[in-house]
Amino acid sequence: MSEAVAPEAFVGELVARIAKKRTFGGHPLWLDLADGKLTAAQLKIFAVQFFLQVREFPRAVSAMHANCPFPDERMALAESVYEEETGRISGCNKPHPELFIRFGEAIGLARTDMTEGRPLPATRALIDWFELSTKQRSFIEAAAAINLAAEGQVPGAFGPMARRLQEHYGLDREAVEFFDIHEMADAEHSDVGDNIVVRHARDAAMQDRVRDALQHSLDAWWQFFDGIRAAI
């Protein structure tokens, strides 16, 4: 077991780990998508698999809220769940999965193509990790896995992706709203994770568990994109 490090230094270490294996912005599939290299058929495969995890993500945030023992963080997570499920804080006024369905329909998918889509093995593994990390691990580990490793990757990646999707795939602003909304919302959500880790991952044992949860999450996201890339 490593020795405990100061909270601020620990968060810096976790952020560096995220930057080293940043799926959104660093994975070859993400780069191909941003460069307009996917065919229409390949883009549809990506969209179906991406939707399947988008649909499950609000439940992961909800599980975090239910298991959160800290009142201030629980209030912030309640706002995150409300936004994920309604879009009424951001003003989009649609559940976030519905925003992604709009994107899918804009590229030629039917709603049922997404809602009845079959997950690839790596997609299923990622969704299973959402549940395991938020229901079977400690709340602090869940914060590292979901707030930091997932939402923490989004700011700086989704906004530029929205513009590239418009440029390369002929989509309008409404079709890519999912990406624009998350560019703004996840900056706030991931800040919640930073705050939780700073305040509560103080001893060496907890810091080691957080490192493990963070790395597992980063690996699951990378393998998720690997799975889609192999399928297309």
Look up residue 153 and give its amino acid: Q
Higher pLDDT, 147 or 217: 217
Q: What pTM value is reported for the model?
A: 0.94
pLDDT 10s digits, 99-134: 999 999 999 999 999 999 999 999 999 999 999 999
Exposed/middle/buried for residue 5 (C-beta within 10 Å: 0-12, 13-18, 19+) = middle
Which pLDDT score is estimated for 7? Answer: 79
Q: Closest by alpha carbon to 226, among 104, 157, 126?
A: 126
Tell whether the model's pLDDT for residue 186 goes beyond 70.
Answer: no
d(CA 155, CA 108): 27
Centroid of chain to Cα 67: 19
